[in-house]
Amino acid sequence: MQRVLSGIQPSGDVHLGNLLGALQNWVADQHTHESFHPIVDLHAVTVPQDPAELQTATLRLAQMLMASGLDPDICVLFVQSHVPEHTQLAWVLECTAGFGELRRMHQFKDKSADMDFVCAGLFTYPVLQAADIVLYDTDVVPVGDDQRQHIELTRDITQRFNARYGEVLVVPEHRIPPAGARVMDLQEPTRKMSKSADEAPGTIWLLDEPDTVRRKIRRAVTDSEAEVRFDREAKPGVSNLLEILGAATGRSPQEVAAGYDRYGELKNGCAEAVVELLAPIRRRFDELSTDPGETQRALAAGAETAGEIATATMARVREAMGFLPRG
Ligand code: TRP
């Protein structure tokens, strides 16, 4: 079985775009791959975090992922900071990565552009990400195009490491995941649904109450025509509703479009499909948050499994690099 790994930051809640765009792929992958999913809290602290909130957000994200269908019995779900080898390997890889290489990372340039204080960790963030991947002999990293440069960097660093020290690390491949739905903001359907939208009338959260979901979809921006047709350029709002309804019910947006003449009906159909999709997730999340012990045990077991592999990889790395074994 191929090993896939993809991390997620514990910042903000999970929204419908995350679920239909990425999470559903992860849930499917866990049956056909050895799946690793670290909750990357060490990456989160590259920008200021409130300690109490970080802790809450980390557990909550784990609960949200499990509620959405990630099954800790068949995938490895864990918290990055529970496995200290991530930062150990990151250090070693920082000594393999070039300063100039890191300076070219688009995400760093974008994120740091309007910050007063840029910590060094934000700059070396992609190397920690490389460590996350390489630590588990990962074959494939299924992440979106925005992460392409980080995965290429991971490959470059890993190859350089191997050229220096022998074939110690597995060089991972990038795979653009099978097109998950591209869910756009309901109020501004030309930009992706996001966590940062202030009041978030255009974002549907996984835990939104049914009536909130209905209200947000009813108020979604459409256009002044009256024709239901999938055309992202000319009709971004309507196309977004078609895409969401399609993804929620396992159909293509074009197929969905054939069944509707009027915007009002499309909105109702879309709202009910999303309510139905989210109902079991909300139910399961409620159970998990009533008994946090279950999630904590799952994360501990995940860290245990991850830790065994991580220890073996680090032992190989230390030996290859000539660090004196502790006697
Ligand atoms: N940088 C990724 C993001 O911003 C998160 C991430 C951290 C990640 N480590 C990873 C993704 C390892 C894939 C593999 O979304």
181, 174 Cβ separation under 8 angstroms: no
What's 147's DSSP letter? G
Mutation choice for ligand 1 from 3, 4, 5, 9, CB with most ligand atoms inside 8 A? 9
Quickly list H helices, 15-98. Answer: 16-18, 24-29, 41-44, 51-67, 85-94
80 lines ligand 1 (CB under 6 A): no
SS3 label, residue 159: helix
Mutation choice for ligand 1 from 33, 41, 129, 137, CB with most ligand atoms inside 8 A? 129
Active-site residue 216, yes or no?
Answer: no
> What does the pLDDT read at residue 182?
86
Q: Which residues pair with 192 in a beta bridge?
A: 184
* Average pLDDT, consecutive stretches of 10 residues, N- to C-terminus, the chain (327 residues): 95 89 91 97 95 96 97 98 98 97 94 92 97 98 89 98 97 82 90 77 94 96 91 94 92 93 95 97 97 97 98 98 94
Q: Which of 234, 178, 134 is nearest to 24 (CA)?
A: 178
> What does the pLDDT read at residue 196?
72
Q: Which of 186, 217, 205 is nearest to 282 (CA)?
A: 205
What's 272's DSSP letter? H
Using CA atoms, how far residue 232 sits from 118, 190, 225, 255, in Å, is 37, 9, 14, 15
Quickly list H helices, the chain. Answer: 16-18, 24-29, 41-44, 51-67, 85-94, 99-103, 106-112, 120-134, 148-165, 210-218, 236-249, 253-258, 263-290, 292-321
> What does the pLDDT read at residue 12?
78
5 lines ligand 1 (CB under 6 A): yes
SS3 label, residue 318: helix
> What does the pLDDT read at residue 146?
85
Q: Please return the burial class of 17, using the count of CB atoms within 10 Å of its CB with bins 0-12, 13-18 and 19+.
A: buried
Q: Which of 40, 45, 154 is nearest to 93 (CA)?
A: 154
224, 237 Cβ separation under 8 angstroms: no
Nearest CA to ligand 1 atom 15: 8
257 lines ligand 1 (CB under 6 A): no
Q: Which of 167, 168, 141 is nearest to 154 (CA)?
A: 141
> What does the pLDDT read at residue 198?
59
CA 103 to CA 155: how far, in whole Å? Answer: 17
Question: Checking phi first, is residue 118 left (phi over 0); if not, alpha (psi -120 to 50) or beta?
Answer: beta
